[in-house]
Structure formats: C-alpha cells, structure tokens
Amino acid sequence: MTDTAPQTRGGFPDVRPVENAPPELGRFVAALHRLQDLTVSTNPGDSSWAAAAEHIESACALLDGHQVPETEVVAGRVLSVPGLAHPLMPPWTLTESGPDGVIMTGHFTRAHVGGNNAVHGGMIPLLYDWLFGMVVTSAGIRPTRTAYLHVDYRKITPIDEPLIARGGISNVDGRKVFISSTMTATDGTLLSEASGLMVRLLPHQP
C-alpha cells in the first residue's frame, strides 16, 4: 500500500524546527539537565530538599498560564540546543543530515545512569528513536510513526564521554522505511546498534 496523498497530513500536526528560539532557552534547559543530575547524585538533607522544591515550584508558577498548542511550543524543536532544548532528551546534537543519513554527537550524564555508572538500557532506545525520526525527516519522508525498534547492546555505554550515533535508511517498501544505526565511542568502539521500522502515515492517521 502506498500513500497516494503524501501532502495531506490528516490529524498529524506539521511541527517543524524553530530557528529563532528565545536566547535564554538553552541556559534554562542546561539548568534543568544539571538539576536532574544533582537530583540523582546528592543527599543534602530535608531542609535543602524543601528549599529546592520551593525554587522549582516558583519556576513552575512563572511558566504556568503560558501553555500553547504543540505547533507553537519552542522546547523540543531547537536544533542548535543539545537535546533539541527538550529537558528529557539526552544532550546530543545533530551534526550532519541529508537523504543519505544523519550523524549525531553527544554524551549521557549522571541522570541517565542505570547502575555502576553505565547508561540505563532504556535511555539508549530513546536516543535511537529520536535519531530514526531525524533520518526520515532528513530524507523528506514525513509524517511517520515508529512501528518497531530493536537494539543490540554490544558494550557498556559510559556516561560523560563523547559518543557518536549514525543512522540511515536501509530499505523502503511502500510506506515502510527500514532504518539501521550504530552508536560508537570516538575511537570507533561499537557500543550498540539498532534497527527499526518507520511507517509513513496515511492522510487519515493521527
């Protein structure tokens, strides 16, 4: 089956990167990442937890009331900020993209630890799913949904070390787009590899 109306998006919003993001957004997201790292690596005592909670609650109060539709949200759509300026994404950056594939560079931090200073196994598929989305977008295939994602873990993925992820389209069958990718250390050591299927949505599919 082939999409006969590729320009018709149905219920899927046309969300595109933001080029003119607020200049302080990167600073804000970096602070959130630091907060996540500290939350899982400190034990300051009850009074400090309470005081920190008050600061966070004050920050929430500043932002509350400014909610906008998905197509107007800034965080999560800024290519120039690590993790697209989304506080839950690992601080990686898209460095190369095109129809032949994409390359992303970055690292994982203390907030991503699963145990013994190794990256949690669930964080790695999150990175790959993001990479798969960038692969199909860079190839001009939009919108899509992830149908499956398979990860083979080859070695322990370290935190606080520079890493490289590469991905590209291995095959296209109608609306089915098959993707293969790898994550390596800077010396080329293979840490994990993933394969997946992205399916281009029909006009009526959200």
- Averaged pLDDT for residues 41-47: 94
Whether 83 maps to a domain, the answer reads: yes
| CATH assignment of the domain containing 63 | 3.10.129.10
**Residue 145 in this model has a pLDDT that exceeds 90:** yes
Whether 14 maps to a domain, the answer reads: no
Spatial separation of the C-alpha atoms in residues 180 and 169, rounded to whole Å: 6
Structurally, the chain folds into a number of domains equal to: 1
pLDDT band with cut points at 50, 70 and 90 for residue 9: low
pLDDT at 10: 63
Spatial separation of the C-alpha atoms in residues 44 and 121, rounded to whole Å: 28
Spatial separation of the C-alpha atoms in residues 13 and 173, rounded to whole Å: 24
Whether 16 maps to a domain, the answer reads: no
Percent of the chain topping pLDDT 70: 95
Whether 126 maps to a domain, the answer reads: yes
Query: Residue 181 is encoded by which pair of tokens?
Result: 């990718």
Spatial separation of the C-alpha atoms in residues 103 and 87, rounded to whole Å: 21
**Residue 3 in this model has a pLDDT that exceeds 90:** no
pLDDT at 169: 98
pLDDT at 4: 43
pLDDT at 90: 95
Whether 149 maps to a domain, the answer reads: yes
Burial class (CB in 10 A: 0-12, 13-18, 19+), 97: middle
- Averaged pLDDT for residues 148-176: 97
Whether 15 maps to a domain, the answer reads: no
- Averaged pLDDT for residues 159-171: 98
pLDDT at 2: 46
Query: Closest Cα to residue 28, out of 107, 87, 106?
Result: 87
pLDDT digits (tens, 9 = 90+) for 115-134: 999 999 999 999 999 999 99
Range of the domain at 112: 25-200
Neighbours of 6 (CB within 10 A): 16
pLDDT digits (tens, 9 = 90+) for 48-102: 999 999 999 999 999 999 999 988 999 999 999 999 999 999 999 999 999 999 9
Dihedral sign from CA coordinates of 138, 176, 169, 108? positive
Residues 15/77, Cβ–Cβ less than 8 Å: yes
Mean pLDDT across the chain: 93
Who's near 157: CB < 8 A, 6+ residues apart?
A: 108, 118, 119, 124, 163, 183, 191, 192
Whether 29 maps to a domain, the answer reads: yes
